[in-house]
Amino acid sequence: MIKILHFITDKNVGGAGRLLCSQIKNMRDEEFAITIALPRGSKLKKPLSSLPCTIIELEHGADCSFCVSGIFEAMKIIKGVHPDIVHSHGSLSSRIAATTLGIPSRVFTRHCYFPLSKIYKNPLSRMVVGLISNSLSTSMIAVADSAKQNLIDMGCNKRKISTVINGVEPIRITSPEEIDYLNSRYGLTKNNFIISIIARLEECKGHKTFLQAAQICKKHYPNFRFFIVGDGSQKNYLKQLSHKLDIDDIVHFAGFCEDVSPILNITDINVNCSVGTETSCLALSEGMSLGIPSVASDYGGNTHMVKNTVNGLIFPAENAEALAMALIRLYRDEELYAKCSLGALRRFHEEFNAAIMTKKMADFYKVEYLRHKK
């Protein structure tokens, strides 16, 4: 049995946490013994509690990659668990701790894609950063090709990087009663065409473009309804912008939803407007499991997930008019919509589901374990 110790610093249930839950749920108990170290009070503890894993709560390093006290705490945990593999998710402290203790297999996952800072344009700085990253990790996981390129541009050894595309569980089909409840709550009719964006309410997710596109669509198709699902620091700003654009009557702020199934079940188009930190979007994958076409910005990993006119449409990031035209095109062209719906289902079953992701991760762990087994 391979003992894997994960370190994750997020207090909220972000993409990394959801992926971890899916992997543990689908892995074979007799092959892996999994321990998760996460911040005390993390919302991730609840979904993990029902899964076959051991949970250790951290006192230091919540929502930050590095802190000195976090290194010593991680070292203590590693000594107690005696893992074969230490797998770090955004935790530099645990990578330093594992390297200091001489753990032979140290894995790091790059969950995000960011435009790199100016430091990486300096060859010497890039080399130094790359040397540090390469020494702290024996292997690296990129959740999308864009994330892999990010790592390479940071000076990481490309031979150490494996790409494992994010996968999700299929969204459940909701009951007629749940649908009736949503329709009643939001005043929806059969004539409404539902467009949703499921993302943290942060500037990098591009909700401003989403609202501007809603204003354009309203002029031509007042039956469109726009759902914003999520919470974050931009909530008040976005609500004020919606009011300023005079679209409060067609925009619904649904807030954070632990279960997005009901809203996705009434959604006609699933949107991603990201202008930052996008690799392979879980919300798009979940929509694809229901055959929902996507309209996504041309940022990061979106262009890998959404093939233009195959399972959705791509628009230039931050271009509200282009987004609006893409939404209207899918609404008006029933043949294209049907084609993209079938394409979405196909893409989900071929690449973006949790079973495929977990199989690739399990194979990766086995190879990694045998490579570094003493």
Here the tokens at position 231 are: 């919470």
6's tokens:
């994960």
Structure tokens at 127: 């080399």
User: Please, which residues have CB within 8 angstroms of residue 233's CB and are 6 or more apart in sequence?
Assistant: 201, 202
Q: Give me the pLDDT at residue 16, please.
A: 85
Q: What number of other Cβ atoms are within 10 A of residue 172's Cβ?
A: 14
Pairing between β-strand 224-229 and β-strand 193-198 as defined by DSSP bridges: parallel
Q: Taking Cα atoms as reference points, which of 231, 257, 251 lies closest to residue 178?
A: 257
Residues 205 and 192 in one domain: yes
* Closest listed residue to residue 23, CA positions, set 369, 364, 354: 354
Three-class DSSP category at 200: coil
Task: Encode pLDDT of 341-368 as tens digits.
Answer: 999 999 999 999 999 999 999 999 999 9
Closest CA to 301 of 351, 349, 232, 263: 351
62 membership: H or E segment, kind and range: none
On whether both 55 and 26 belong to a single domain, the answer is: yes
Q: What is the pLDDT of residue 90?
A: 83
Say yes or no: 243 and 326 in one domain: yes
Residue whose tokens read 């309410």: 201
Verify that 209 and 125 share a domain, yes or no: no
How many structural domains does the chain have?
2
- List the 224-229 sheet strands across, edge first: 251-255, 224-229, 193-198, 269-272, 294-297, 312-315
Check residue 357 and give its pLDDT.
94
- Do 112 and 30 sit in the same domain of this protein? yes
pLDDT at 116: 73
Domain range enclosing 201: 176-350
Long-range contacts (CB closer than 8 Å, 24 or more residues apart) made by 13-16 = 13/43, 13/44, 13/47, 14/200, 15/111, 15/166, 15/282, 16/89, 16/90, 16/109, 16/111
- Strands 106-110 and 85-89 come out as parallel
Q: What is the pLDDT of residues 222-266, one digit of tens each?
A: 999 999 999 999 999 999 999 999 999 999 999 988 899 999 999
Reported as half-sphere exposure (CB side, CA atoms, 13 A), residue 223 has a value of 9
Greatest distance between any 2 Cα atoms in the chain: 67
Looking at the structure, tell me whether residues 339 and 264 fall in a common domain: yes
Q: Cα–Cα distances in Å, from 149 out to 8, 87, 111, 152, 364?
A: 23, 20, 12, 5, 20
- 23 and 94 belong to one structural domain: yes
Do 363 and 346 lie in one domain? The reply is no
Which CATH number is 121's domain given?
Answer: 3.40.50.2000
One digit per residue, the tens of pLDDT, for the chain of length 374 reads 999 999 999 887 777 888 899 999 988 778 999 999 999 999 899 999 999 999 999 999 888 889 999 999 999 999 999 999 999 998 999 999 999 999 999 999 988 877 777 777 788 888 888 899 999 999 999 998 888 988 998 889 999 999 999 999 999 999 999 999 999 999 999 999 999 999 989 999 999 999 999 999 999 999 999 999 999 999 999 999 999 999 999 999 999 888 999 999 999 999 999 998 788 899 999 999 999 999 999 998 899 999 999 999 999 999 999 999 999 999 999 999 999 999 999 999 999 999 999 999 999 999 999 998 76
Place of tokens 């609404």: 331
Q: State the alpha helices, DSSP H only, in the chain.
A: 15-26, 45-49, 68-81, 92-100, 123-136, 145-153, 176-186, 207-220, 235-244, 261-266, 282-288, 302-305, 320-332, 334-350, 354-372
Instruction: Look at residues 257, 255, 263 and name the one whose alpha carbon lies nearest to residue 287.
Output: 263
Shared domain check, 181 and 147: no
Backbone angles phi, psi at 85, to 5 degrees: -135, 130
Q: What residues contact residue 360 under an 8 Å CB cut-off, 6+ apart?
A: 164
Tokens, residue 155: 């000076």
- In b/e form, how buried is each residue of 80-104, taking b as 16+ CB within 10 angstroms? ebebbbbbbbbbbbbbbbbbeeebe
Determine contact, residues 278/329, Cβ cutoff 8 Å.
no
Does residue 344 sit in the same domain as residue 210? yes
pLDDT at res. 374: 61
Q: Based on the fold, state whether residues 244 and 361 are members of the same structural domain.
A: no
| Residues 12 and 155 placed together within one structural domain of the fold | yes
